[in-house]
Structure 1
Amino acid sequence: MKLSRVISVMFILLFWIPIKSFALSCLVDGSSSASFNEALGTDLAVQADAPNGTIIWESQSRSVPVICADNREVGRESIYFYLNPASVSVGQGIRVGIRYKGIAITQSSGKYDTGHHSQEGCNWANCTGWRSAKFTLNFSVFIEKYGTTPTTGQATSLTSYRVFQLDGVGGLNPTPNSNLNYVLTGLNKIRFVPCSPKLTVTPSTIDFGRLSSGGGQSGQQITASRFSLNLKRDCTTPYTVNARFTPKTGSILNGLLVPANNSSVGISLFRAESNEKLAYNSWFKLTDMTGTTPARIDLFAQLLWRAKPVIGPFDAAVVIDLFYK
């Protein structure tokens, strides 16, 4: 009897499927929080026919200390803003942007290179194996009028909106609370109104005249000049007008607007009726408007000595921004 042997050969096939690696975890340095929340803080009334690009709201300039941990030590990796990481519609008639290094970033998806990287601020003496990077992220966030105005007047129903997530080239890190998110709250307070007031400034140029430098001491008032902000509109929709004085030329030092061509003087602004000092670069309530009656707000500019008087002309300028709520 002939015997036959059946030999079975088993092949074991091994497949290696690479798992997408999320190498970076970026947080506010010194904090375990992965969320930087900022509230609009007030109702905003926006002119319905305002041109595209009109700034509705803008945050203060932020300088956020960031630390990014390179958990997988993949080497130098660029760090990005991932815009609108939740991929939601912000609403109608508005869009959100980031002002970064003098550029307005208004894309509503994708990523934008911050110019920082995972080895930044490290050397072999203070970073073990290039595992972390430290840098300061300087930016502001703004909301601008953009697109068709909603017929309801309500820009959005969102109470919060994730503007960006800070992350590496590999995409969004899915691990909860591991990457910095900037979140805007209160967007549902934005509404459109049928008209806005027209502003005139009288006089539009303040001339302090010829000054005497004799006996000038730091902090001493030299002179003061009055001016007024005049508002006029054609509709009766009630809203509050807020204003902000932003330097166009000159700089702010210790709360004073200091001319670039003569630092021995500084300028403060006050309400005439209450003697309330108005801070530059800060919003303040200007007036309430409830009808078509024009409004006039009287102010005065105070000129002070800052240092030993310097002979010669000087000039400085401010821009007046308005928003309505």
Structure 2
Amino acid sequence: MKKIYQLVCLTLLLVLAQKSYALACKKDGTQAADVIMINTSIAVSNALPKDTVLWRSDNYSISMTCWQDRAGAGGEYVYFYLSPRDPGLTQLGPDLEVGIHLNGTDLRCTQLAGCRVQLPIQFQGCPWGSCTSQAQTFPLNFNFFISKKSPPSPGKEGPLTAVPTYPAFQLDGAGGMNTSPDSNFVMVLVGLNNMRYVSCSSSLSISPKTVDFGSINSTGAQAEKVIKEVPFSITALKTCNSVYGLNAYLKPVAATVVDGYTLVPNNNTSVGISLFKQPARTAIPFNKEFTLVERSSDQVVVNNFLAQLKWRTHQAILGKFNATATIDVFYK
């Protein structure tokens, strides 16, 4: 009986120790929840492949404060949990999945062990007393995206999900998520029921495929001075009369973006490239969604653009330069 008694006591101690590992995380130190609205309709071609990004939010940067909220806690890291209230990933139905862009990478719950990501925030433990004095505050930079979870499925029409509100992520410790109200910060997406299937997709063609500014005279370099402008066009084609529009999202490759609108080549920072939509010369942003094609039933739409090259410095860097931007397209 003595051995059994010791075993039972050990088991109880292990259970109690496991429960003592817990973190509290709040936005701005006090806020336990926030909401991001999807306030636009999103059209989806049923021919799109699995893992196609259907919508992407703006970039967000929030201040998070975490602390170990129970005495007796051991050391642990902060974890970023995706879909914290949907363990089976069934609430949105078979066609949708919410993902997060974190630390330069698109992350989906179905691709992560435990549907979580370890953040580089570590606590050394709080053996006794109040743990709030060891709280850590850090920035969290991210954007959301909605991904197609199913393969192409011809014939589907109508809403992709009837769920309007969906908890997207929660911060917590290694031992799992605390589901007590107001215990840990939860970000909620609202408006997923604005997504619907349409009967055909669009294809894009860019002419010319490469914008070539040719040779440039480095004499007289002056910051903000326009060097050259080259026109190009993007044509959208679709095979049906479904009424929808197209939004686009330009992401830099081998380049950085300054002021949100200027693409700077990595191999020559003395020049910058800006894009304008004609004929109104509307500036086109990078890393932010913009309207490419207005909603209509037109099967062919041609948009004219202008690529503008300008100096960023008073001293030219001699040699070749190149920069690329990929384009993500979202149906509206």
TM-score by length of 1: 0.85
In structure 2, C-alpha distance between the alignment counterparts of 1:251 and 1:82, rounded to whole Å: 30
SS at match of 2:159: coil
| Number of the residue aligned with 1:291 | 297
State the one-letter code of the partner of 1:274. A
| Number of the residue aligned with 1:312 | 319
Work out whether 1:272 is the aligned partner of 2:274: no
Q: Deviations over 1:83-128 (max 9, x none)?
A: 32323612231111223343623239945242345527x99xxx96
State the one-letter code of the partner of 2:137. K
8 Å CA contact retained: 1:93, 1:155: yes
Work out whether 1:67 is the aligned partner of 2:72: no
State the one-letter code of the partner of 1:26. C
State the one-letter code of the partner of 1:283. E
SS at match of 2:268: coil
SS at match of 2:294: strand
Could you tell which deviates more after superposition, 103-112 or 64-73? 103-112
Q: Deviations over 1:222-273 (max 9, x none)?
A: 1100000101111101011112222122111233111111111101100121
CA 1:262/1:118 → structure 2, altered by over 3 Å: closer, same or farther?
Answer: closer
Could you tell which deviates more after superposition, 49-58 or 76-85? 76-85
CA 1:71/1:61 → structure 2, altered by over 3 Å: closer, same or farther?
Answer: same
Match of 2:143 among 136, 140, 154: 140
Q: CA deviation at 1:280?
A: 1.0
Work out whether 1:114 is the aligned partner of 2:114: no
State the one-letter code of the partner of 2:108. I
Q: How does 1:1-325 map to 2 (within 5 A)?
A: 20-21=19-20, 23-28=22-27, 30-73=28-71, 74-87=73-86, 89-101=91-103, 102=105, 104-107=107-110, 110-117=114-121, 119=123, 131-147=134-150, 149=153, 151-254=156-259, 255-307=261-313, 308-325=315-332
State the one-letter code of the partner of 2:100. I
SS at match of 2:266: coil
In structure 2, C-alpha distance between the alignment counterparts of 1:316 and 1:60, rounded to whole Å: 23
In structure 2, C-alpha distance between the alignment counterparts of 1:301 and 1:66, rounded to whole Å: 40
Q: CA deviation at 1:152?
A: 4.3
Q: CA deviation at 1:296?
A: 0.5
Q: CA deviation at 1:288?
A: 2.4
Q: CA deviation at 1:292?
A: 4.5
State the one-letter code of the partner of 1:229. I
SS at match of 1:199: strand
State the one-letter code of the partner of 1:80. Y
8 Å CA contact retained: 1:78, 1:113: no
State the one-letter code of the partner of 1:162. P
Question: Which blocks of at least 5 consecutive residues in structure 2 are unaligned?
Answer: 1-7
In structure 2, C-alpha distance between the alignment counterparts of 1:248 and 1:167, rounded to whole Å: 34
In structure 2, C-alpha distance between the alignment counterparts of 1:278 and 1:103, rounded to whole Å: 23
In structure 2, C-alpha distance between the alignment counterparts of 1:299 and 1:78, rounded to whole Å: 48
Aligned alpha-carbon RMSD (Å): 2.7
Question: Which blocks of at least 5 consecutive residues in structure 1 are unaligned?
Answer: 1-14
State the one-letter code of the partner of 2:262. L
TM-score by length of 2: 0.83
In structure 2, C-alpha distance between the alignment counterparts of 1:238 and 1:313, rounded to whole Å: 44
State the one-letter code of the partner of 2:41. D
8 Å CA contact retained: 2:178, 2:184: yes
| Number of the residue aligned with 2:4 | none
Looking at CA atoms only, which structure, 1 or 2, has the larger radius of gyration? 1
Q: CA deviation at 1:21?
A: 4.0
8 Å CA contact retained: 2:21, 2:175: yes
8 Å CA contact retained: 1:82, 1:109: no
Could you tell which deviates more after superposition, 100-109 or 242-251? 100-109
Query: Which structure has more helix as a fraction of its residues?
Result: 2
In structure 1, C-alpha distance between the alignment counterparts of 2:132 and 2:21, rounded to whole Å: 17
In structure 1, C-alpha distance between the alignment counterparts of 2:266 and 2:113, rounded to whole Å: 41
Could you tell which deviates more after superposition, 229-238 or 84-93? 84-93
In structure 2, C-alpha distance between the alignment counterparts of 1:288 and 1:112, rounded to whole Å: 38
8 Å CA contact retained: 1:71, 1:131: no
SS at match of 1:188: helix
